[in-house]
Structure 1
Amino acid sequence: MNQTRLGYLYGLGAYLIWGFFPIYLKLLRPAGPVEILAHRIVWSVVFVALVLAAMRNIGFLRALVRRPRALAAVGAAAALIAVNWGTYIYGVNSDRVIETALGYFINPLVIVLIGVFLLRERLRPAQWAALGVGGLAVVVLTVDYGRPPYLALVLAFSFAGYGLVKKRLALPAAEGLFVESAVLALPALAYLGWLTRDGAATFGHVSAGHTALLVLAGAATAIPLLFFAGAANRLPLSTLGMLQYVGPILQLGCGVLVYHEPMPPARLAGFALVWLALVVFTTDALRTARRTRAAARSATTPVPAPTH
């Protein structure tokens, strides 16, 4: 199998798991969102530690400890991903799957917004247009919900901020997830210990299947991230950008078709505006990528020697 085809399989595998993740999270009830989050953190550490041990790649920790600024960045990344995971779990298990899907639809637009305000990037006219349509969509959805879609906004901004920190850290997927989860593991274990002491923990008290699903939360977290890293190493960024919409489309399908969450006309109009903004944004990104590749090819094409 060639590397490009393998990249597509990795990418689709990652986004399929993320797309159907609401179904998995619903199975973890009656555990509360914070208990699920704590188990997700603890078992992620265990699972990724086993992966790194199998890869014989534990030595990276020694180099990381000697970089205080990198450790601070890891702490920031851990806090952002904890907010993202916790918000997502809460959204799914409070029957707001559609709103969580919205968060991942608008995430690319939020990344552009962060680029403007934090990185001082200059936008092309099409990108400004996409942001404007996306802003209008948030206004329409605010009117429909009777409040801002704050779950979607928290998911989008926390994940975009996490991506920014991760880009600057430049840690591989498994190593990065291990360190971030390890930073969060102590408070997660303390919370689980407190629940157990008060007799409020569901772990080991609902059924064997429920206990097994909580343990598997670590693998369910790590595997799609490892798949995503495999895809990112084999596919162009523009291709990966197109694949990222598979996840929220499937999440939206779960919300509407599986859990029958309401989708009134005004909410559908808000989503339609988000999709229009993404079409404008993606079309512009693909066009720019083609122009960049064409310019690179022309720059490397040798100029024929003159003949006399």
Structure 2
Amino acid sequence: MNHKSSPSSRKETASGFIEGFGAYLWWGLVTTFYFRYMRETSPLELLTWRVLAGLPVVLLILTVRSDFSQFFKVIRQPKAVSLLLASALLILGNWLTFIYSVVNARVSEASLGYYINPLVSVALGSFFLGEKLRPLQWFAVSIAMGGVLYLTWVEGTLPWISLVLAISFALYGLIRKRVEASAEVGLAIEMTILFFPMLILQIYLAQGGNTVFLNSDDMTLGLIFGGFVTVVPLWLFSRAARKLRLTTVGLMQYLAPTAQLMVAIFYIGEEVGTKWITLSLIALAISIYSMDSIRASRSETLDC
């Protein structure tokens, strides 16, 4: 039976598309250009201000959305807080690695990491959550692993930036899946946990003369703006995720690493070199994985 969608439903889906595209293009373009512009600042200081300036922004969003009741409900649960502590440390490592890659003109390695991240997530779901993988999904994961192994063999070293970004974000998603909280509430608690350690780190950097905060007007404003750079795409993503099918959101996520790769090649001028072969294998794996996901999604829809 065919079900006609109502005008309000179509309008909500359209706004979800706009918000989803906005979130992933923000992650791919705005965030990359931002850290590239701020490259004279040390990665550690950029990391501290991602939390120090980000927490007030996410708390403002919670205030506007009246989500503080959920914030206090979650923060009173020891198990949830323990999981969010672990996820906070993972996202901190992920952020620092990404900042390092942009500041040091290694964005193509970062984009590779975010390309393989969904496939790593699928593999982790199989190992830790007992989720059954379809044959084509296993095939896609195997091709991606082959691409990484090829790059390791050719370059003579592990593509650690790609692997750290992919694995840390996949583990982050795995942990956050076990916490019943919205994206904004979860991020607010994570940033609350990290706030004082990051404040102490910022004070330490300032005492050692390794900070640009208050020593350069444009860099100081840039550090404060980092809060919006961090929180806005997450807010857009959380809105899109509520309006769109999971398969649609899953396909959209490749916009971010594609945009990062374009910035790496055409703006920063990175030499991709032998990474093209690995990227081609990853693209093949993504195509197989995406087609299988779409086919499975259609089958589920027909069965309903």
Q: TM-score range by the shorter chain?
A: over 0.9
SS across alignment from 2:178: helix
* Alignment correspondent of 2:237: 228
**Do the aligned partners of residues 124 and 56 (structure 1) sit closer, same or farther apart at CA in structure 2, a change above 3 Å counting?**
closer
Separation of aligned partners in 2, 1:141 and 1:236:
34
Pick from 137, 158, 162: which aligns with 1:148?
158
The share of aligned pairs that are identical, in percent, is 36
- What TM-score, normalized by structure 2, do the two folds share? 0.94
Q: Aligned-pair distance for 1:295?
A: 0.8
Query: Which residue type is aligned with residue 114 of structure 1?
Result: L
Separation of aligned partners in 2, 1:169 and 1:128:
27
Is 2:94 the partner of 1:95?
Answer: no
SS across alignment from 1:261: coil
Q: Aligned-pair distance for 1:137?
A: 0.2
Q: Is the 8 A contact 2:59 2:188 kept in 1?
A: yes
* Alignment correspondent of 2:3: none
State the 4+ residue runs in structure 1 displaced beyond 6 angstroms: none
Query: Which residue type is aligned with residue 277 of structure 1?
Result: A
Separation of aligned partners in 2, 1:130 and 1:116:
14
Is 2:50 the partner of 1:53?
Answer: no
**Do the aligned partners of residues 191 and 240 (structure 1) sit closer, same or farther apart at CA in structure 2, a change above 3 Å counting?**
same
Query: Which residue type is aligned with residue 74 of structure 2?
Result: L
Q: Aligned-pair distance for 1:219?
A: 0.8
Give runs of aligned pairs for residues 37-76 of structure 1, distance below 5 A: 37-76=47-86
* Alignment correspondent of 1:106: 116
Separation of aligned partners in 1, 2:210 and 2:118:
39
1:11-56 CA-partner distances (Å, limit 9, x unpaired): 0000111111211101112111111000001111111122222333
Is 2:302 the partner of 1:294?
Answer: yes
Separation of aligned partners in 2, 1:254 and 1:87:
17
Query: Which residue type is aligned with residue 247 of structure 1?
Result: A
Query: Which residue type is aligned with residue 274 of structure 1?
Result: I
1:148-169 CA-partner distances (Å, limit 9, x unpaired): 1111011001111111111111
1:218-260 CA-partner distances (Å, limit 9, x unpaired): 1111000000001000001111111111100000001111111
Any gaps of 5 or more consecutive residues in structure 1? 297-308
Pick from 158, 164, 182: which aligns with 2:168?
158
Query: Which residue type is aligned with residue 260 of structure 2?
Result: Q
Separation of aligned partners in 2, 1:56 and 1:80:
28
* Alignment correspondent of 1:238: 247
* Alignment correspondent of 2:289: 281
Is 2:189 the partner of 1:191?
Answer: no
Separation of aligned partners in 2, 1:36 and 1:281:
35
Q: Is the 8 A contact 1:7 1:234 kept in 2?
A: yes
Separation of aligned partners in 2, 1:55 and 1:128:
41
Query: Which residue type is aligned with residue 244 of structure 1?
Result: Q
Query: Which residue type is aligned with residue 157 of structure 1?
Result: I
SS across alignment from 1:168: coil
SS across alignment from 1:31: coil
1:117-155 CA-partner distances (Å, limit 9, x unpaired): 111222211011111111110111112322111110110
Pick from 205, 210, 214: which aligns with 1:204?
214
Separation of aligned partners in 1, 2:34 and 2:155:
26
Q: Is the 8 A contact 1:27 1:210 kept in 2?
A: no
Q: Aligned-pair distance for 1:86?
A: 0.7
1:185-215 CA-partner distances (Å, limit 9, x unpaired): 1110001111112222111212x22111110
- What TM-score, normalized by structure 1, do the two folds share? 0.93
SS across alignment from 2:122: helix
Separation of aligned partners in 1, 2:66 and 2:297:
38
Give runs of aligned pairs for residues 163-178 of structure 1, distance below 5 A: 163-178=173-188
Q: Is the 8 A contact 2:125 2:174 kept in 1?
A: no
Query: Which residue type is aligned with residue 135 of structure 2?
Result: P
In the comparison of the two structures, how many residue pairs are matched?
294
Is 2:28 the partner of 1:19?
Answer: yes
Query: Which residue type is aligned with residue 219 of structure 1?
Result: F
